[in-house]
Structure 1
Amino acid sequence: MGKVATGQQIIKWFEQFAPKHLAMDGDPIGLHVGTLNKKVNKVMVTLDVLENVVDEAIEQNVDLIIAHHPLLFKPLKQVSPDQEKGRIVQKLLAHDIAVYAAHTNLDVAEGGVNDAMTMALGLKPDSVLVETGKETLYKLAVYVPKTHEDTVREALGNAGAGHIGEYSHCMFQTAGTGSFKPLEGSTPYLGSHGEIEYVEEVKIETIVTESTSHSVMEAMKDAHPYEEVAYDLYKLENEGPSYGIGRLATLEEPMTLKEFAEHVKTSFQVPALRAVGDMEKVVKKVAVLGGDGNKYISVAKKKGADVFITGDLYFHVAHDALGMGLNVIDPGHHVEKVMKEVVSEYLKRTFDKHSITTEVIESNAHTEPFQFL
């Protein structure tokens, strides 16, 4: 029988997908309004937290909003119903709706906004556009009875442990004998109270990244038969994989800039877009960065991109792009709405895995500020 999750549980699971440490310095991510210390019957995923989104949440009896764009990007000097932000906060508090924001950490996360935008174009990301950090690596060693060696090893690999380059499930096993004495109050899988038990065990060692460590540990404990799992987890000096914002990808078949611009327009379902460059120029290598990517045009050029897809392109930056021979396509900032499906599907899978009955919905409220005439 399923159960309702708390806000704390939901955000704990969500942050395994988009860890806070991936966020850029100064980015106001996390809880903005309300409390997570409550049961959540319904979660709504949205790009923006505007007043119409909050009204929709109230109508849908939502308990928690997970947004990409922070509601309180700048601190409020006052909370007044005479101003939109004040009304939003007032409505949220009055209806006990919490708001949590995942901004640049969701941009950077594997499978997050930038990956989703790239894949929406039918492309497979090759690498990050701008490296913002490297994952910390840990060594996990867990002691498992030989009868459950395969089960635990498979659970670890499926949760993300043992990924080295283009290989997964990389692990090392050594056999030995484990011993323990179950004390009063314990419910041992093997052995009897007060007697030392000797068991044929296997020590499984593998690599874990900081981002996957929580899900790996959870999977390990779920798959392990013992009431108390014996394991070691320690930090390594090995250099971990890099992470960052934006993605680079390669078209299977080159297109002209005009053809590719039409493809972008169709893929993101936008009524119009802006393009900079020679419409007949052939493009093959693509850089993608959701939101405002103006300061990264030089990086896109340096990384060999023929065309850079980003939003909020400034007039003079467009001139700079022309001058350096970089084609740019601006489909708008609002195309980041692809995050709604990504996050909602992740939450649904996670809830199903844990037998959680909390409902997940995507906001249908219109938050694109521009109209195309």
Structure 2
Amino acid sequence: MSWNVGETVRIRDVIGALEKAYPTGLAEDWDAVGLVCGDPDAVVQRVLFCVDPLEATVDEAVDFGAQLLISHHPLLLRGVHGVPADDHKGRVVHRLIRSGIGLYCAHTNADKANPGVSDALAGALGLTRTRPLMPVAPDADTGLGRIGELPQPEPFRDFVRRVADGLPTTAWGVRGAGDPDREIHRVAVCGGAGDSFLTAAAEAGVDAYVTADLRHHPAGEHLAQADVPGTTVPALVDVAHWASEWPWCQQAADLVSAALPDTVEVLVSTRRTDPWTVHAGATPDPGRALA
């Protein structure tokens, strides 16, 4: 769409740009994507992008003077029967409406799109030549997760440091499971919780798999498969859920900025909405008995 000088941009125009990049038809059936609150005809001059639609990011949107908040995570994913102001989600809705700010959520449609959430994560780690880990159809360029390559192979210990350097710092940090000296070249990534794709990562023959929210038993069972003769499984890198999806905010902001006139200003939230705030303890020596 071409824009005339001084032409008014409305929420519906921003939604049009978003849904061209992240078609709602890609969203899972259980998901809740789209406009949560706000008038599609409301004028937009400033848009804030975030991972979580929390009170902290609404405060940031108010401070920025935004008319629209775009989040990755849905606010009302599970059914609700009301949004009273003395409830967390109700407070968010009331604050948005009182402040004249709309809320739009792009979740699993942004996960599957090309480019999407996992492309942004792969880019933050310096991966190239990416393709979907779980394509929506054979030979499709959309789907969940991505497989890519590092410019040069590097030891797993260096790769884990690369991941930590490429993502925002969190109390959760970055954890690696595997031989520190293992050479890493081909890598699978999945923004958000991706332990359901451990088998897909192993079948893809990658050297490492980066995702969030890895649980003890699935991770342990995955690594134990390496004990089977002739079997190789990827080393694992576990990062904070919020950190794995935060790079998408800049991707989405750039897409909207490119599609709309210069009268619309975009900003990526810098509020760390990862729920974990304190970390303690030293890195253990695997195989060493407790003192």
Q: TM-score range by the shorter chain?
A: 0.7 to 0.9
Alignment root-mean-square deviation, CA: 1.7
Shift in Å at residue 52 of structure 1? 1.1
Shift in Å at residue 242 of structure 1? 4.2
1:292 is matched with which residue?
A: 193
Task: Find the partner of 1:38 among 35, 42, 62.
Answer: 42
Q: Which runs of 5 or more residues in structure 1 are unaligned?
A: 135-239
Supply the distance in 2 between the matched residues of 1:30 and 1:21 (Cα, whole angstroms): 11
3-state DSSP of counterpart to 1:5: coil
1:61 is matched with which residue?
A: 65
Contact 2:48–2:266 at 8 Å: present in 1 too? yes
Q: Name the one with the larger strand percent.
A: 1
Supply the distance in 2 between the matched residues of 1:49 and 1:241 (Cα, whole angstroms): 31
Supply the distance in 2 between the matched residues of 1:125 and 1:76 (Cα, whole angstroms): 42
Instruction: Give matches, 1:97-112, under 5 Å.
Output: 97-112=101-116
Q: CA offsets per residue over residues 189-246 of structure 1, 9 Å max, x none?
A: xxxxxxxxxxxxxxxxxxxxxxxxxxxxxxxxxxxxxxxxxxxxxxxxxxx8442111
2:255 is matched with which residue?
A: 346
3-state DSSP of counterpart to 1:79: coil
2:127 is matched with which residue?
A: 123
Supply the distance in 2 between the matched residues of 1:267 and 1:305 (Cα, whole angstroms): 20
Question: Mean alpha-carbon deviation: is it higher for 43-52 or for 274-283?
Answer: 274-283
Supply the distance in 2 between the matched residues of 1:26 and 1:125 (Cα, whole angstroms): 31
Supply the distance in 1 between the matched residues of 2:32 and 2:53 (Cα, whole angstroms): 14
Q: Which has the larger radius of gyration?
A: 1
Instruction: Give matches, 1:314-329, under 5 Å.
Output: 314-324=215-225, 325-329=233-237
Task: Find the partner of 2:177 among 276, 287, 293.
Answer: 276
Contact 1:65–1:100 at 8 Å: present in 2 too? yes
3-state DSSP of counterpart to 2:142: strand
TM-score (norm 1): 0.68
Task: Find the partner of 2:74 among 46, 70, 75.
Answer: 70
**Counterpart AA for 2:15:** I
Q: Does 1:359 align with 2:258?
A: no
Supply the distance in 2 between the matched residues of 1:241 and 1:328 (Cα, whole angstroms): 26
Contact 1:70–1:101 at 8 Å: present in 2 too? yes
**Counterpart AA for 1:363:** S
Change in Cα spacing, 1:30 to 1:119, as seen in structure 2 (3 Å) is same
Supply the distance in 2 between the matched residues of 1:364 and 1:126 (Cα, whole angstroms): 27
Q: Which runs of 5 or more residues in structure 2 are unaligned?
A: 226-232, 281-291
Supply the distance in 2 between the matched residues of 1:242 and 1:42 (Cα, whole angstroms): 32
Contact 2:149–2:186 at 8 Å: present in 1 too? yes
Supply the distance in 1 between the matched residues of 2:205 and 2:266 (Cα, whole angstroms): 40
3-state DSSP of counterpart to 2:29: coil
Contact 1:67–1:101 at 8 Å: present in 2 too? yes
Supply the distance in 2 between the matched residues of 1:125 and 1:64 (Cα, whole angstroms): 34
Change in Cα spacing, 1:89 to 1:344, as seen in structure 2 (3 Å) is same
TM-score (norm 2): 0.86
1:82 is matched with which residue?
A: 86
Contact 1:115–1:125 at 8 Å: present in 2 too? no
Instruction: Give matches, 1:176-325, under 5 Å.
Output: 241-270=140-169, 272-324=173-225, 325=233
Supply the distance in 1 between the matched residues of 2:19 and 2:92 (Cα, whole angstroms): 25
1:52 is matched with which residue?
A: 56
Contact 2:145–2:189 at 8 Å: present in 1 too? yes
Question: Mean alpha-carbon deviation: is it higher for 363-372 or for 39-48?
Answer: 363-372
Contact 1:118–1:249 at 8 Å: present in 2 too? yes
Supply the distance in 2 between the matched residues of 1:307 and 1:14 (Cα, whole angstroms): 31
Point out 4+ residue stretches in structure 1 off by more than 4 angstroms. Answer: none
Supply the distance in 2 between the matched residues of 1:6 and 1:108 (Cα, whole angstroms): 26
Contact 1:31–1:99 at 8 Å: present in 2 too? yes
Size of the aligned set, in residue pairs, is 265
**Counterpart AA for 2:234:** L
2:241 is matched with which residue?
A: 333
**Counterpart AA for 2:259:** T
